[in-house]
Each structure stands twice: as structure tokens, then as C-alpha cells.
Structure 1
Amino acid sequence: MSLTDTTNSTRANSAGVDWAKDDYAVCVIDADGEPLERATLKYTKTGLRRLIDLLDRHHVDAIGIERPDGPIVDALLTAEQAVYVIPPSQVKALRRRYGSAGNKNDRFDAYVLADTVRTDRRRLTPLMLDSEPTTALRKLCRARKDLVAHRIAVANQLRAHLATTLPAAVDLFDAIDSPISRQFLTRFTTQDALDRLTPARLAAWLKSARYCGRTDPAVLHQRITAAPRGATGDYARTLATITRAYLAALATITAQIDALNQQITENLDLHPDRDILTSLPRSGTVRAARLLAEIGDARGRFPTPASLACLAGVAPSTRQSGKVTIVAFRWAIDKQLRDAVCDFAGDSRHANPWAADLYRQARAKGHDHPHAVRILARAWLGIIRKCWTTNTPYDPALHGALQRLLNQDQQAVA
């Protein structure tokens, strides 16, 4: 074997894997970017075994892929391969490095992924998976979020239906999908049933339904009589079938949300990072679980506070050309993480004077509410990451900026 052959045989090779519906394309290239082998494999045990054998045969030490999860990623990490996730939006832009058309092609994208790993590995961060408890908690929180969206959609459909069928029930209680509202609609499904109500009968029914609201039954009855009349007779009884269908859907979704809430609570209580996130102001159970699940527990993923803030989309994107500098909204982010962080930050200002002061300062500078919340979220992420990396719960007494603000308020009062 010549010296050149020896050198080439020891130089690292890279690979790219592009997902498709029924199979996936694999491309292995050498250190010079020349393709060594291409293959299309199925989503089967045999296909995964062939993938690992192919990578071992060519001494591949790094793989580019578009998704951070799934059986392929699990198989690659089990085989101790270095996996680099390159999002589809970046792959779309990278195609133009190799041709002006930039057309989508699975085999070509596999090559683009492999070559990007070869040329830009120093800019990429290897995939680090969270622990199974964190991954399970993330799936629970995201499933709950999806079901809440479904509940809101069905509630809006019910409201639109009642607006023409039974207008008096639309704004009778605070929320159309609240337990008392659903009980009321189950019992009084038509205008004919509402016409038989008197203040005394309504008060007796509310007592039997264990209504805990503060609105007087007489006021509720007045709302019913003041509202436009709904459908009556056989037509109303037919439309009541639709009402019951929406109510059944709401009951099912609500029951499953409650079941997920219980499971989230149990999983959070057993998680080693529980005390860190639940110590934050107004974090609660579900909100703390979402923060923990979306940030994860792979500490090495975020070497700096800026890396976490950028992924969460709460750090602006700065563009500069010549004398022109533009600070714009950051789009290439983890939307689930941003939603969790901003949800927490937006509510924290009601319980934490430091957070409230930062929010007020941002609004005073002319920023709208979402922008001010992102500014506050970025500040909170610095604190959360510090607590996260040191395994220390948040302690207001050790929060220097908060204590300085409290001391200033006390001096001003004095």
C-alpha cells in the first residue's frame, strides 16, 4: 500500500441520512467530498442493521441528519456515532452551494448533509439526547398542549353553534367549556327548557350542581331573559343533538387533559431537576414541567447563556451590511421552547418585582407586549441556566438584581 493510500484510509469519512416516508437515503463521502457509496434503506430492523454495517465498513465518524429523534437516531447513537442535526430550513439554503436550481431530492440531500458535516463540523454541535424521564415528560407536555388546543377549538365550535341555537347560554358563565357551563347545557338544551326556568328554579338547580360562582342566581336569570331567543319546538330538539355532540367531545378531551395532568405531576415529582424549575415564581406544576421538558437535562447542549437564548428565540438577530445594521426577530428557533419560556416569563412579572420592573422598562422604551416578554424571558434564561448548571433551586434572597431593587424601594419609602 502506498503512502497516499495509507493516508486516505485513515482520513475520516462522513455520511448523510435524508428521511422519506417509506425509506431513507444514505450517502457516504470521503474526506475530499467524493461519494463512496449511496444506498436507500427501509425502516426495518434489517435496514437499520445494514445502515450501521455500511457506516462501519467505511469508517464513518460523523453523520448529518435533519431530525433529532426516531429509530434511526437511536440506532446511530447506540452505535456510538457522532450525529449532527441540520434542520430542513438550513438544508434548503445549503442546496444552492451545489447548484442554482436548489431542487429537493432525497439522494442529493443526503449528499448535502454529509458534505456539510465534512466542511462545517467545527460549527456544528453533536446531538446530545436528554434522559428518558425528560423525554417522556416532553411528550406528555406536548400531548397536553395539543389537547388543550383541541379543547379550545371544540369550545369555539360550540359557541358558534349556540350563537344561533341558544344565544342565552353563550355568555351565561365565564367560560363555555367550564364544568358548570357544560352541566347547564346538558340539562337545558333548548329555548323551551330555558323558558320554564324561574329565579327560584335556577337557584335550586345551581345548588344541586354545586355551583361555586359568585354571581347571584337572579342575575344569571336576568341574563337568560335579556338574551335573544333561540330555536324552539322540533327544530330546537334536532339542533340539541349537535349541542350534545360538542359537549361529549369536550368531556372526553377534558378528561384526557386531566389524566395527562396527573401523569405530568407524577413524572415531575420523580425528576431529579424538579426542585430547580418548581422554585421559579408562578411556575406551578405544568409550567415547570414544560420548562424542564423543553430545556432538557443534557447540560452540554448549551455551553453559554447566549446559546440557550438564541435557540429559544428570545435573542434578536442582528444583520449588518456596510453602515446599515438591522436588529430583527429571530425565526430559526425551537418554537416549543420559546412558547414555554415566554409563557413562564409573561406570568412571572405578576409575582416577582424584578421581572415586573424589567417588563415596565421594556414597555417604556416602546416595545409591544410580546417583545417585552421576550426581553424578560432572555433575562430569566440566564438565571434558569445558572440554577440548572449548578443544580441549585432559585432563591430570591440570592438574586442580586432583585435584592437591589427591593432595597431601592425600601429606601424610597423611608
Structure 2
Amino acid sequence: MTIFCGIDWAESHHDVALVDATGHLVAKRRISDDPAGFAELLNMLAAAGDTPQQPIPVAIETPRGLLVAALRATRRPIYAINPMAAARYRGRHSVSGKKSDHADAVMLANILRTDAHLHRQLPDDSDLAGAITVLARAQQDATWRRSKASNELRSLLREYFPTFLAAFADRPATIASPEARAVLAIAPTPEAAARLTRPRIAAALRRAGRVRGIDAAAETIKRALRQPQLRQRPLVEQAMGTHALALLAVLDTACTSVDQLAQAVTEAFQQHPDHAIITSFPGLGDLSGARVLAELGDDRTRFADARAVKAYAGSAPITRSSGRSLSVTHRRIKNDRLAAAGWIWAFSASNSCPPAREHYLRRREHGDGHPAALRNLFNRLIGCLHHCLTTRQTYDQNRAFPAFTPS
């Protein structure tokens, strides 16, 4: 008898339901989120006919967590059902809007019973790929937090200390650069900046890691910080300086996290067998390549073809047709992390790779805007990457862009 399992996940407990091929409820139970609860789940599955040769598939609304990790260790099929899709299925069984944890567990089991072929199993990625996913996502989150902290600090400085922003406007990372953070730490207000001497600024630059042109840079910063500007009232200015130091501490922590995680993810990615293939593509380095691998994984059976990868990445357009209405737009439901990495990848490739640049310009001449042209380039590149990863070959410019004509 074919059995399907649905688990409604919660923080402290989980509701489990087993249904047979006809939709009849075979068993139900609430288990705790601990080893005893997991053992209870395994006993429940075994009593329903679960065997290593024919494991009972499981549907759950999350792809992560200790319960999912323990279930994956049993080598059984696990389907992570998107909560939005699950909400649509809920309406098939009740139009009143009622909801319960047990009913959701039954609904998830019935999703497998009727539509398992329309949902994708959790990929069977290697442990190394799983570790890269954790580190790459953490580094990406840290980068976003750094940008947020930097923008908050910049907004505050704009209100009372614009000359500081002007003094470091030519730095690659502006106020997030080590030099700008070191100087702001000793001069958080215009009054403090006016008392700075060149030796103190030079010492701050050395602490930030600068080794060349320190005296000249210190003199330039000193003059820039003493430029005339509008001022807040003294007590208000002092309070804003205290606020700036608090935001600076957050920014320092974010910058440190970005650097530490970048080193960790780079070391892990360089050990992966797909490293040489991914980094052979223009625009993909260790960090951006690790982000792409983190979202695609290394289970080559995960995607049926390149079209599935492109849809998952959000680079392929989506068509909406109803009656006489027809529209082709970009996808909004996608893997946002992969789409963000793809944007950086396409932008970098369009500036460093002549064939990619020609492809981008051709799309612009065709009428695409900048985002649409980059998305089209990303669509082409990720299709080529899928082919290279499947066939175990590195990037070949002549095959990726056969129409390219060198100038």
C-alpha cells in the first residue's frame, strides 16, 4: 500500500499525518521537536510500511531545520512545499477559510498523493556544497547588513557633518572604507575634526592598514575636514556625534563579518570540484561563484534542463495569456539570492568580456532597458553554466557566443 506523509512544522512541535493512495487518513500524531519526537516519527512511518528500499515520501513547508536534516539522513524523498502553494491547496479542501495544524499536515500529504510530479524534491547535495551554501548566504547577508549600516551612517552624517562625506567621497567604499571609519572614530563631530592634527590622522590611517602616502593623505583629509559648513547647535551636534559612534560600531562589526565570511567561503569553494568550471566564466570570481553554487547546488538531477534553471533564477521571462490579452514580463517569483548574484555576474561580464558586452549592447539597441539587457545576458550565461556543469567542461567563448565578431 502506497503511503504519503505530511508534516506541519512548528517551533516546538510538529503535526504528522499519513494518508494512503485513496486519500484515507492512516495515522496522525503530534510529535515534539527533539530526538524523542523524531524517534516517534520513525516508528510511526515503520508501522505504516516504511522500508529502506521503499521509504515513505515526506512533504513539509520548510527546506531547513534539524527535523529536515534528520529526515534527509534517512535517504527518503523530501518535498519542501512553498507556503504560498500550500495556501492555494488549502482552498481545495475548505472554502470557509478554517485552518488547523492537523488539517495542514493532511493537506501536505495529499499534495504528494495527487501532485508529487509537479513538485521538486530537496536536492541531494554533497556536504561540502551544503557548507558552501551556509557560508555564502551568511556572507551575502553580512554584505547587505553592511550596506544598510553604511547608508544609515551616511544619512546621519549628512544632517550634521557633510564635510566628512566630502572628504572621503573618492574612496572606493566611501565611509565604509577602513580609513574613513578610523578617522570618524577619533573625530565624530565637526568640532572634534577641527582639533585634529596631521599626526593623529596619520596614526589613524596606519591603524586602518594604509602603508603608502600616509602624510600626504593625512594633510588632504585635514584640509577637507576643516572646510566651512553649516553647523547644528552644540548640544545637538554632540548628541549626533554620539549617535554616529554607535552606528560606526555596528558598521565596524558588519565589515569584519563580511571579511571573515568571505575568507571562509572562498576557502571552502576552492575545494569544490565545480570551482574550476564556475570560475572559468567571465564575471564569476570566488565570492560570486560560491553564491551561484550555493543556490544551484551540485546535485545534477535537480533541474531537468536549462529552462528549469533559468526559471529558478528568474532570468527567463514569463508569459501571461488570457483571451486577447498577452503579456511577456520578467519573473517576480524566483530565487532572490541567485537573481542578486546573477545581476552582479552579468554586470561584471558585460564590462570585462567583449562577447558579453556585445550581447548587452545588442539587447539595448533592440529596445531593452539596462535591467532587461542584463537579465537577458544572465539568462544566456546561466544556461551555458548549466550545460558546462552537466557535461563537466569549462567555459568556451566561441560556443557561448558564436555570433561574436571581434573588432
Above 0.5 in TM-score?
A: yes
Residues 222, 299 of structure 1: CA spacing in aligned structure 2 closer, same or farther, 3 A cutoff? same
1:33 aligns with 2:58: no
**Percent of aligned pairs sharing the same letter:** 30
Q: Once structures 1 and 2 are overlaid, which stretch shifts more, 239-248 or 45-54?
A: 239-248
Partner Cα distance (1:302, 1:234) in 2: 61
Counterpart of 1:62 (choices 57, 64, 73) is: 57
How far is 1:112 from its partner? 1.2
Q: Once structures 1 and 2 are overlaid, which stretch shifts more, 305-314 or 203-212?
A: 203-212
Give 1:183-194 correspondences, 5 Å limit. 183-194=182-193
| DSSP-derived class of the 2:176 partner | coil
How far is 1:307 from its partner? 0.8
Partner Cα distance (2:166, 2:211) in 1: 16
Partner Cα distance (2:236, 2:92) in 1: 65
How far is 1:49 from its partner? 1.0
* Structure 2: stretches of 5+ with no match in the other structure: 51-55
Give 1:173-192 correspondences, 5 Å limit. 173-174=168-169, 175-192=174-191
How far is 1:124 from its partner? 2.7
Residues 360, 223 of structure 1: CA spacing in aligned structure 2 closer, same or farther, 3 A cutoff? same
Partner Cα distance (2:367, 2:331) in 1: 19
Partner Cα distance (1:350, 1:58) in 2: 59
Q: Once structures 1 and 2 are overlaid, which stretch shifts more, 172-181 or 120-129?
A: 120-129
Corresponding residue number in structure 2 for 1:332: 333
How far is 1:395 from its partner? 3.2
Q: 1:295 is aligned with what amino acid? A: L
Q: Once structures 1 and 2 are overlaid, which stretch shifts more, 364-373 or 283-292?
A: 364-373
How far is 1:226 from its partner? 4.0
Give 1:2-401 correspondences, 5 Å limit. 11-59=1-49, 61-174=56-169, 175-196=174-195, 210=210, 220=221, 223-231=224-232, 236-237=237-238, 239-396=240-397, 399-401=398-400
Cα shift readout 1:154-175 (whole Å, capped 9, x = no counterpart): 2222223222332211221131
Q: 1:112 is aligned with what amino acid? A: M
How far is 1:125 from its partner? 2.9
Partner Cα distance (2:263, 2:164) in 1: 31
Q: 1:387 is aligned with what amino acid? A: C
Q: Once structures 1 and 2 are overlaid, which stretch shifts more, 292-301 or 330-339?
A: 330-339
Q: Once structures 1 and 2 are overlaid, which stretch shifts more, 309-318 or 223-232?
A: 223-232
Residues 103, 367 of structure 1: CA spacing in aligned structure 2 closer, same or farther, 3 A cutoff? farther
Instruction: Give yes or no for contact 1:166–1:231 (8 Å, CA) kept in 2.
Output: no
Cα shift readout 1:55-78 (whole Å, capped 9, x = no counterpart): 121125322111122222233233
Q: 1:325 is aligned with what amino acid? A: L
Partner Cα distance (1:213, 1:101) in 2: 72
Instruction: Give yes or no for contact 1:180–1:211 (8 Å, CA) kept in 2.
Output: no
How far is 1:203 from its partner? 8.8
Q: Once structures 1 and 2 are overlaid, which stretch shifts more, 109-118 or 322-331?
A: 322-331
Could you say which structure has the larger radius of gyration?
1
Instruction: Give yes or no for contact 2:187–2:193 (8 Å, CA) kept in 1.
Output: yes
Instruction: Give yes or no for contact 2:13–2:33 (8 Å, CA) kept in 1.
Output: yes
Residues 192, 85 of structure 1: CA spacing in aligned structure 2 closer, same or farther, 3 A cutoff? closer
Query: TM-score normalized by structure 1?
Result: 0.86
How far is 1:391 from its partner? 1.9
Corresponding residue number in structure 2 for 1:3: none
Residues 183, 37 of structure 1: CA spacing in aligned structure 2 closer, same or farther, 3 A cutoff? same
Instruction: Give yes or no for contact 1:26–1:107 (8 Å, CA) kept in 2.
Output: yes
Partner Cα distance (2:212, 2:84) in 1: 51
Q: 1:142 is aligned with what amino acid? A: R
How far is 1:357 from its partner? 2.1
RMSD, aligned CA: 2.7
How far is 1:50 from its partner? 1.0
Partner Cα distance (2:206, 2:71) in 1: 60
Cα shift readout 1:137-195 (whole Å, capped 9, x = no counterpart): 11111111222222222222222322233221122113111111112212333323333
| DSSP-derived class of the 2:340 partner | helix
| DSSP-derived class of the 1:97 partner | helix
Residues 333, 236 of structure 1: CA spacing in aligned structure 2 closer, same or farther, 3 A cutoff? closer
Instruction: Give yes or no for contact 1:66–1:88 (8 Å, CA) kept in 2.
Output: yes
Corresponding residue number in structure 2 for 1:8: none
Q: 2:27 is aligned with what amino acid? A: E
How far is 1:383 from its partner? 0.7
How far is 1:213 from its partner? 8.2
Q: 1:47 is aligned with what amino acid? A: G
| DSSP-derived class of the 2:18 partner | strand
Query: TM-score normalized by structure 2?
Result: 0.88
Instruction: Give yes or no for contact 1:192–1:232 (8 Å, CA) kept in 2.
Output: no
Instruction: Give yes or no for contact 2:182–2:205 (8 Å, CA) kept in 1.
Output: no
Residues 402, 315 of structure 1: CA spacing in aligned structure 2 closer, same or farther, 3 A cutoff? closer
| DSSP-derived class of the 1:327 partner | strand
Residues 331, 102 of structure 1: CA spacing in aligned structure 2 closer, same or farther, 3 A cutoff? farther
Partner Cα distance (1:63, 1:373) in 2: 39
Q: 1:282 is aligned with what amino acid? A: G
Q: 1:321 is aligned with what amino acid? A: S
Q: 2:332 is aligned with what amino acid? A: W
Corresponding residue number in structure 2 for 1:409: 406
How far is 1:329 from its partner? 3.0
Partner Cα distance (1:13, 1:208) in 2: 67
| DSSP-derived class of the 1:39 partner | strand
| DSSP-derived class of the 2:8 partner | strand
